[in-house]
Structure 1
């Protein structure tokens, strides 16, 4: 049998997969239909890994025994369809790296809050002295680290796209934060397909593993009625903490796990807001599963500084506070952002619509938003929906114009919130690029 592995996509995950595959003795070839960033080209060259860019050479790719696909490449891409027709296995970087990983894995998914919870959990383990790596959607490629590092634990943020390419991989601790409609353009606009993708986080788990989840999420509740969960279940929510799980009651966060109880005032948690209380409960439960001492959990939850581009309180200009929430790429994430602000808001919204239904935001927008600044190449859907709901709506296609317009619309004591509820690929490289350009434009006011 051929030992050729072809890797589609030469970003962080693809290059990391190539390095691990080469280390394990495979005949590796990398193909990227776009332009490979210079730093990744240098890495591939240094490791003597052959690659192509600007095209996919079909004959080369179809000669593979197995293909590792970048999570950004959809299943409906022509090359991926041809691989399936040829019965060539297509897997994710996480699946491939998992074959060679002997460390314990704490895996986190959900429509919203993934990055914050991942970073908080990672910080918690690091502060407690664990030999821990950070991987998945954040940090360095999981495969790259498995190939070159020697961690005992990994905290891994997993998107639905990464989960789709996972078959044998198993999470020792799985965290499912919430499920709301997102990326429906990748799931044939069928919500159940997306739900099924998220629940892959618990596939292959056994009785010795743990499943941490938001007990009050209606989608998760319904799905659990249909599924058999082998792992120990640790639910969390805004109720009294169960015997095994976490809850908030009378402004006190309580975690019960391993016959041990942890509690602290919600006012002592560094990340404020209801959504961050959920994230803190999930991370705290992971800490208790790993028998981290209560003092260390309290210290980490109290000191955590938050994540760039997620409700990042960036700067005040003449009394107007500018908040960078560029990571809000769906409606539900923006709902949490608006819900957490108690002053009049000028809201910057727009980008690549992923099948958004703005009705979920309507009540909060009526209550809190004084003006909307659209930022995108096509803002018609947003303008049509909110006309008559918000008195001032401005249409822009440039971040500097959007920031200037919001500055003129806001007053001392008010907030300008970049929380786009959309993907960024119409005008930006990614949400990080969008957030950084926003902050640069604010500095130039």
Structure 2
């Protein structure tokens, strides 16, 4: 006699958590209390917008504050973790997270600042090859950055920013369509600036295939990895990506406005003809404090730095990168597939007759830890607010009609996914 498992039951969610090969690290994060629902803590599925705070962060920041109080300016060289080379403490772990060599990686600035710094070097338009390739549903900051860069070079964004759109009636791009644009229009494109994981739909792009096609077409392959870093395994050096930029406050849980990251492939590092915006921290640290009027360049990603590192903001990045080093992206990706797959299964089972459709690709290999749902009538802000206040579920709304659920595998559980799906069904049924 064959028994069937009812995936909709709370008991099944608990069994999945108990049997999971990677037990949750939820206890190592501050989980907000719930303002509604039957549970003391929220089910937090908004880590694609802002990750939860690791409990180890406060101790690291307090150590920096204590060194500042004890040492003053001498903390730059005498602190427990000296401030002058502080960014170097993050380099190796950040490189491992994105599949890069340490010399190719630097933690600095914020994401859009880094996008602009990369475009200064790698968007070098000519009358024939002048375009930047992005997705039509790119995060708005990427659109603004691309438009402002082409204007700086005297081009019209309407012609010089190529926006990839899905086929009619579809929500996501197809890899073959992206490759076709690179084959047929690549001679006009200077650089790509595509999102590795699309912020709105959660679609995971085929980074290696698109990178290879771009380079075959003579196009610089650049990526915004804001929603990919800490979400999916990356092999930037191996894939031949030219440049990439990302933030650390989403899946990497490093706090609001955390310092971001940059990757520049080693084949570009010794090219001193590349145009760059430069500052004090662009110069060789061995000669930096000689206060020379001329810059002494270094052939690493550090040469794209401008200013000294913000220590109190970098301490949370250090705390979080230690967790990723401990757990590893392969294990996290495997759990992410289990959690997101279970959430998708629950939404299908509970919401089949409700006014909602899934935007994220059904193929697990084409999505990260995110399920984006389009509401067919209800307002996304209203639904998100009711999820939180009535059921203790925190999701992320994107106006006017998209709600995004991100079961981040470091702290989310199958039970969180169960709560989210049941709460969504309850809110939609209530009207």
TM over 0.5: no
Larger RCO (CA within 8 A; separation ≥ 6): 2
TM-score, length of structure 1 as denominator length: 0.29
Q: What TM-score comes out, normalization by structure 2 length?
A: 0.30
